[in-house]
A and B are shown apart, each in its own frame.
Chain A
Amino acid sequence: MILNRRSLMTTALTLGAMKAFPGLSFAQARPLVFATFTGSWEEAHKAVLVPAFRKANADAAMVLDPMLSVDQIAKVNAAKANPPIDVMLHDPGPALVAIGQDLVEPYPVEKSAYYKDLIAEAQEPMGPAPFFQVVGLTYNPEAVKTPPTSWADLWKPEFKGRVGITNLNSTLGTGWLVEIAKMRGGSEANIDPAFKALEELKPNLAAVAANPGALATLFQQGQIDISPGNFNAIQILKARGVPVEFVAPKEGAIAFKTTIHIVKNSPNRELAFKLIEAALTPEVQTTLMNPPYLIVPTNSKVTMGGEIARVLAKDTAELKKKFVFQDWKKINEQRSAWIERFNREIKI
């Protein structure tokens, strides 16, 4: 059993600690804990979501505990009966892992005032998606005079030694590879064409970054001029004066659902539900859509504005047309094989 495997020692230590420090056993009355992501996510949630939640819930106590998805899963797994986290935030891959390991509760859809207003793709019964992450093409407008329009542009001879990608450790790298497979006649189930395409991309590759964050550094250093990139991350770079632009390729920008979940056995179930409700409100989503956050909203009642309306979509109808969603269940099944293949084949 998973509980035994991963947490035998942790559990033993916890039990020991509870004997040694009986005060720990009263941890039931702890405040609501929301494990958001680190960096810009934490900033956005601290500034917008937390105040909105507290205002609507009589100043209920809550803490943000930012950490990676995998760490959230490991922590909850280590103490399933009394989890240290009440609300988890996940990319599509880890979300399925968390659901598969029975760590999250179904969202009480019938109680929710906003769930039905979410666009269809965001309505996930095991935890709705309050935000989208969007991946498209990023380029340096000082070096690339004609903006790219398609993923295929990365293969153009003029970008010899100028293209950056990330490896498959990240959601971005994996999602991008799936899009390339689709472009070449493959799919989530048939990744072969993507690896063939990567082979042809090698002369153009300047760098395979270890994570999407490293791509930003490479743009700053002029190491690369064009790469797949995350809309939010690019806007942050742009605001800091780095010459980068984002464009949605004509094949469609890749949209990842960032889903939010109530942790199973949470002692703060009701407050957890209230927090997620707050994240789904048009007010919170509108504020988060505006600068400096520029997070793509999922509530159809939100009127698109600013940079998002200009670059991505003016309304939910256009959004649905321009975004592509991927089958992460299929992706997860084979991801380890892909990573292994990428390790072996991509050497530049």
Chain B
Amino acid sequence: MGAAPASRDVTSYGMGLAAPLALFFLLFFVAPLLQLFWLSLHNDTAGLHWGLGQYLHFLTDPFSLSVLGSTLLLGAEVTAVCLVLGFPIAWLYQRVGPRLQTIIILIVLLPLLTSVVVRTFAWIVILGRQGIINATLQSLGIIDTPLKLLYTQFGVVIALAQVQMPLMTLPLITALGRIDPNLDDASCSLGAGSWRTFFRVVLPLSLPGVIAGCTLTYAAAITAFITQSLVGGGQMLFMPMYLYQQASTLQNWPFASAISIIFLLAVLAVVSVFTTLGRLSRGYGGA
């Protein structure tokens, strides 16, 4: 810190600047996390007997594993829907005039400006028996009895996809914006069709954005307690509700801690797959 100005390397970072945030994280994130881990290593709810019983219980119980599996699958479904629906919007954004761009960015950001609870309640109204979808289908004579949309996996995926959409679209818009538009023309003039151009040029170059968007959407979707429980209901059990049940209703903190550690590791594994892909794509994009 006290180094002479002359010998100071302007490209180095002053780690001191990160200290306040690092301290904050240490106190309010790392310390509680360690406490959580410590608690999960106890076999009884009073926390007297050490052991791996909680982990064994979870990992040998087909039901608990199925909850974990369905949660990870839910995240994958939501991420896929967001990617398929979000990519065209981001692509369009880079190709329209400034006025339309403002409108698109407003539409993308709008969901972020309302609370998740409000958005989720809107979905209850949309998906309900007398909701917009059922009412429209019935008035068109396509269905006689209302479809069951609320409290289904389909409903949860659709609602979560809308709620988390900005997390996918914004990184995509940035990534696509970094691609030199001349590359499209170059690809075309060298004889590639538009699909070939898309798959061989645009998509590989946008991969960093795709990876970032997928990571954010995935992490947000699997931990979305409110949307999962309001649109999914009480009989669809995902990890956040399972955790809540054990910690809050049953006061079984060691098991709840073990569930959260396992959940955390599972999510880290998925995210690290994403980042590995991202690292590979960086080489690809730079090539």
Q: Do the beta carbons of A221 and B124 come within 8 Å of each other? A: yes
CA distance in complex: A97, B249 (Å):
11
Complex contact A70–B130 (CB within 8 A): no
Partner pick for B250 among A173, A339, A346, CB 8 A cutoff: A339
Q: Is B31 engaged at the interface, CB distance under 8 Å to the other chain?
A: yes
CA–CA, A228 to B211, complex, Å? 46
**Is the Cβ of A347 less than 8 Å from the Cβ of B128?**
no
Complex interface: stretch among A43-51, A115-123, A208-216, A230-238:
A208-216
Chain B 225-243 interface 0/1 with A at a Cβ cutoff of 8 Å (1 = within): 0000110111101000110
* Neighbouring A residues of B125 by C-beta, 8 Å: 221
- Cβ contacts under 8 Å, B235 to chain A: 167, 208, 346-348
> How many whole Å from A105's CB to the nearest CB in chain B?
21
Query: Is the Cβ of A336 less than 8 Å from the Cβ of B252?
Result: yes
Chain B residues with CB under 8 Å of chain A are: 27, 31-32, 35, 39, 42, 46-48, 63, 121, 124-125, 128-131, 148, 150-151, 229-230, 232-235, 237, 241-242, 244-245, 248-253
Contact check, B234 vs A221: say whether CB atoms are below 8 A apart. no
Given contacts A222-B128, A223-B128, contact A70 B245 (CB under 8 A): no
B46 interface neighbour in A5, A161, A166, A211, Cβ under 8 Å = A5
A-B contacts besides A208-B235, A209-B234, A343-B237, 10 pairs, CB < 8 Å:
A2-B47, A5-B253, A9-B35, A208-B233, A221-B130, A222-B130, A223-B128, A223-B129, A223-B151, A339-B245
CB-CB contacts below 8 Å: A314-348 with B = 335-336, 339-340, 343-344, 346-348
What are the 9 tightest A-B residue pairs by CB atom distance, in nearest-first order? Answer: A5-B47, A221-B128, A167-B234, A208-B235, A210-B229, A208-B234, A210-B234, A222-B130, A336-B250
B residues in contact with A169, CB < 8 Å: 234, 244-245, 248-249
Looking across the interface, which residue of chain A has its beta carbon closest to that of B44?
A5
Residues of B within 8 A of A207 (CB): 150-151, 233-234
CB-based nearest B residue for A336: B250
A residues less than 8 Å from B27 (CB atoms): 13
Measured between alpha carbons, how far is A348 from B150 in the docked complex, in Å? 12
Known contacts A2-B46, A208-B233; A343/B63 CB under 8 A: yes
A322 vs B207: C-alpha distance in the bound complex, in angstroms?
67
Contact A209 B250 (CB under 8 A): no
Q: How far is the CA of A58 from the CA of B248 in the complex (A)?
A: 38
Interface contact A6-B250, CB-CB below 8 Å? no
Check: A8 CB closer than 8 A to any chain B CB.
Answer: yes
**Residue pair B251, A214 in contact (C-beta under 8 Å):** no
> A339 to B249, Cβ gap below 8 A?
yes
Residues on A with C-beta less than 8 A from B241 are: 210
CB pair A70 B234 closer than 8 Å: no
**Nearest residue in B to A71 (C-beta to C-beta)?**
B248
Residues of A within 8 A of B (CB): 1-2, 4-6, 8-9, 13, 68, 70, 73, 97, 161, 166-169, 173, 206-211, 214, 217, 221-223, 335-336, 339-340, 343-344, 346-348
What residues of chain A lie closer than 8 Å to B63, measured between beta carbons?
Answer: 340, 343-344
Q: Are A8 and B245 in contact (CB under 8 A)?
A: no
Task: Assess the A214–B233 pair: CB atoms within 8 A.
Answer: yes
Instruction: Write out the residue numbers on chain B whose beta carbons fall within 8 Å of the beta carbon of A339.
Output: 245, 249-250
How far, in whole Å, are A211 and B121 apart by their CA atoms in the complex?
15
Residues A8 and B234 in contact in the complex (CB < 8 Å), given A169-B245, A210-B241:
no
Q: Which of B27, B148, B230, B233 has the most CB of A within 10 A?
A: B233
Complex Cα distance, B48 from A10, in Å, reads 19
Given contacts A70-B248, A339-B250, A344-B63, contact A223 B234 (CB under 8 A): no
Q: How far is the CB of B166 from chain A (nearest CB, A)?
A: 25
User: Distance (Å) between the CB of A172 and the closest chain B CB?
Assistant: 12
6 A-B pairs with CB atoms under 8 Å apart are A13-B27, A207-B150, A214-B229, A221-B125, A339-B245, A339-B249
* C-alpha gap A9/B39 in the complex (Å): 12
B69 to chain A, nearest CB (A): 14
| A335 contact from B39, B124, B248, B250, Cβ within 8 A | B250
Docked complex Cα distance between A329 and B187 (Å): 75
Q: Shortest beta-carbon distance, A226 to chain B, in Å?
A: 14
Q: Please, which residue of chain B has its CB at the minimum distance from the CB of A101?
A: B251
Chain B residues closer than 8 Å to A217, beta-carbon distance: 121, 124, 230
Q: How far is the CA of A122 from the CA of B70 in the complex (A)?
A: 45
A343 to B243: give the CA distance in the assembly, Å: 13
Across the interface, do B150 and A221 meet the contact criterion of CB distance under 8 Å?
yes
Chain A residues within an 8 Å CB radius of B31:
9
Kindly list chain A residues whose C-beta atoms are within 8 Å of the C-beta of B234.
166-167, 169, 173, 207-211, 214
Chain A's nearest CB lies how many Å from the CB of B254? Answer: 9
CA A81 – CA B248 in complex, angstroms?
Answer: 23
Chain A residues, Cβ within 8 Å of B244: 169
CB-nearest residue of chain A relative to B36? A9
Whether the Cβ atoms of A8 and B251 lie closer than 8 Å is no
Shortest beta-carbon distance from B219 to chain A in Å: 22
